Structure 1
Amino acid sequence: MAITTLKTVVVLDCPEPGKLAEFYARMLGGRVEGEGRWVEVTFDSGALRGRTLAFQEAPGHVPPQWPSAEHSQQFHFDFYVPREELDAAEREALELGARLVEGDDGGKRDFRVYLDPAGHPFCLCVD
């Protein structure tokens, strides 16, 4: 029997919670709620329905370095898109403020690695 319920999927430390919440809301189709030091993204439909991503202000936040054993990523998101939509998804992510840090080696791999605007790593993966 579970002893708790997971409602907030993850909480990300960052320097600007509202800005990072807006990035993920647009990436995943969620809604930004709140402002200030704690901002959430909620979801009304899809796989994340009823879940929350939260963003917490962390003065002096130092983002992970990818790849690095000394400043490891500790976690990352994998976001899935159909192969034929991968380039379009990348363009949109870059327009929202993501930064590509490792490509898919000319299509030899089924994922590409990016950093969000606060430096957290995530991947766009072929579904």
Structure 2
Amino acid sequence: MSASIQAKRSVIALDCPDAEALADFYARLLGWRVHSSGDYPDWVDVLPPGDGDGAMAIACQQIENYRAPDWPEGPVPQQEHLDFYVDSIADAAPLAEAAGATRHPHQPSEDGMFMVFLDPVGHPFCLCQE
């Protein structure tokens, strides 16, 4: 295939029990902004600063009977996770926890180049350093 789509924006959508609450968490964590529409009350976007054109966004989609993933092993497998690259994990980790994240008890990085956290509804994400 020689042609590709020209996406105007990329969105990662996370299922959750409360879209507004999870969007607020990611907005605090990243310093981004929350955008919701009365037309779709179960869908809330978290957008980077600025106009967001061509940027990555996180969407929080409220669903009934949400079940958090059981990572690294369990009956509800991890379906996805987010990696956020930071200058210093040591500096960013307390900020993530202050926003509402929790450190996962399982930390597989042997060289300390990433640290695993859970968002308030159990989605794993990593703070990473290159």
Does TM, scored on the shorter chain, surpass 0.5?
A: yes
8 Å CA contact 1:104, 1:110 repeated in 2: no
Distance change in 2, residues 1:92/1:119 (3 Å): same
Identity of aligned residues (%): 38
For residues 52-77 of structure 1, the C-alpha deviation after alignment (integer angstroms, 9 at most, x for no partner) is: 21111111100101111532112111
Partner secondary structure for residue 98 of structure 2: helix
Query: Which of these residues, 24, 31, 34, is aligned with residue 32 of structure 1?
Result: 34
Change (3 A) 1:97 1:41: same
CA RMSD of the aligned region, Å? 2.5
Q: 1:57-96 to 2 correspondence within 5 Å? A: 57-68=62-73, 70-82=75-87, 85-96=88-99
Runs of 4+ off more than 6 Å: none
Q: Which residue of 1 aligns with 2:111?
A: 108
Match of 1:42 among 39, 47, 52: 47
Unaligned stretches of 5+ in structure 2?
none
TM-score normalised to structure 2 length: 0.80
Give the number of aligned pairs. 123
8 Å contact kept, 1:43–1:49: no
Deviation at 1:5, TM superposition (A): 2.1
Unaligned segments of structure 1, at least 5 residues: none
| C-alpha distance in 1 between matches for 2:101 and 2:53 | 21
Distance (Å, rounded) in 1 between the aligned partners of 2:53 and 2:6 = 18
Q: More deviation in 15-24 or 36-45?
A: 36-45
CA distance in 1, matches of 2:65, 2:44: 18
Q: 1:117 to 1:30 in 2, by over 3 A?
A: same
> Would the aligned equivalents of 1:113 and 1:122 in 2 still touch at CA under 8 Å?
yes
Q: Structure 1 CA distance, aligned partners of 2:5 and 2:111?
A: 43
> 1:34 deviation in Å?
1.0
9, 12, 27: which is aligned to 2:11?
A: 9
SS at 2:125's partner residue? Answer: strand
